[in-house]
Every structure is written in C-alpha cells, then in structure tokens.
Amino acid sequence: MITTKKTDKNGNYLCGYNKYFNWQLTAKSKVIDKEKIKSMSACPFRFGLNQLWRNMLLSEQVASSRNCDEFGFWVFSPKENDKYLWNMGETEKQFREILTEQGNKSFKKVYLETTLDKLHDIVSDEKDLNWLTMMEEKYKISQINIMRY
C-alpha cells in the first residue's frame, strides 16, 4: 500500500479500498501522483474519490494492455449530480489534486445533457430518435424523477 497503514482510534484502517491490486497498480501508475498520496494524513480514496480512482486505474490498464499511446477517462454525469455526487465541484477538485499532469489531461467530466443535446442536433432517423428518448428518460435527472424517489 502506498500510504502507511494509518488507523483510526479503533484500529480500523483509514484506506477506502484494500481489495484486488489497486494499490500495486497505483504504485506503477503514470496518472496518479504517488508522492501526494503518501504525504496525505489519510487515504484519499475512502469516500467520493474511490470509484474515480478505480476507474482511472482501469482505463490506464486497458490502454497499457492494448499498447495505446494515450487514453481518456471521461465521466458523463447529469448536471443535477453536481450537488450530490460531485459535491459542488469539490470531488473533482480533490481528484485532480492527486493526478499527475498526464492524469489531468486524461480525465474529463462531461455533462450528460450536453451530450444528449448534441445528439439531438445530429440524429434524424426515427429509430435513433426513439433510442435517444429512452436514454434521456433513463439517465437524465429531472425534477419529476427526483420527486419519485
């Protein structure tokens, strides 16, 4: 593990994820800044950064196994997730702080609505429009969807 085995007052490890080979992959990573992680008082992957960390490592490993010169890790997220998932930009900021320059170039957050709007501009086939409508109904967060839950 890159971070020392830091524990809380009850002896529980302060690392958010100890399964699989994520720490070994992090140690070899060119997109995650190991020195920044080592200097932190606790594991940065305990909460909102956990899934981003694992997906970034996955993206890097897929690119490596396919001998790609570069890769991108893009997250498509509804604007409404800014408040919850992204903590009003704080989660993205914290994630970017532990990425290397290459990692920051590889990572991009894209609003789902922007993508769907662009698709509306170019899709004309009725079957494709039906698919697009179903995508919007399933993934676009709206006030109606929020009120249902």
Residue 17 located in a structural domain: no
Of 40, 17, 34, nearest to 100 by C-alpha is: 34
**pLDDT at site 146:** 43
Beta carbons within 10 angstroms of residue 90's beta carbon: 10
> Residue 139 domain-assigned?
no
Percent of the chain with pLDDT over 70: 82
Does 76 map to a domain?
Answer: yes
**What per-residue confidence (pLDDT) applies to 6?**
59
- Rounded to the nearest integer, the mean pLDDT of the chain is 85
52-64 average pLDDT score: 95
Cα 103 to Cα 29: distance, rounded to the nearest angstrom: 9
Closest by alpha carbon to 57, among 109, 94, 86, 22?
Answer: 22
pLDDT of residue 84: 83
Indicate whether 14 belongs to any domain: no
Is residue 15 in a domain? no
Tens digits of residue pLDDT in 96-144 = 999 999 999 999 999 998 999 999 899 999 999 999 989 888 877 654 4
Please tell me what DSSP assigns to residue 103.
H
- Return the minimum-mean-pLDDT range out of 29-33, 43-47, 83-87, 124-128: 43-47
Residue with tokens 């922007």: 114
**In contact, 81 and 91? CB cutoff 8 Å:** no
Which residue segment(s) compose the domain that 103 sits in?
22-110
pLDDT band at residue 18, thresholds of 50, 70 and 90?
low
Reported confidence tier of residue 148, pLDDT bands at 50, 70, 90: very low
Q: Quick check: 2 and 27 in contact, CB under 8 A?
A: yes
Q: Domain count for the chain, please give it.
A: 1
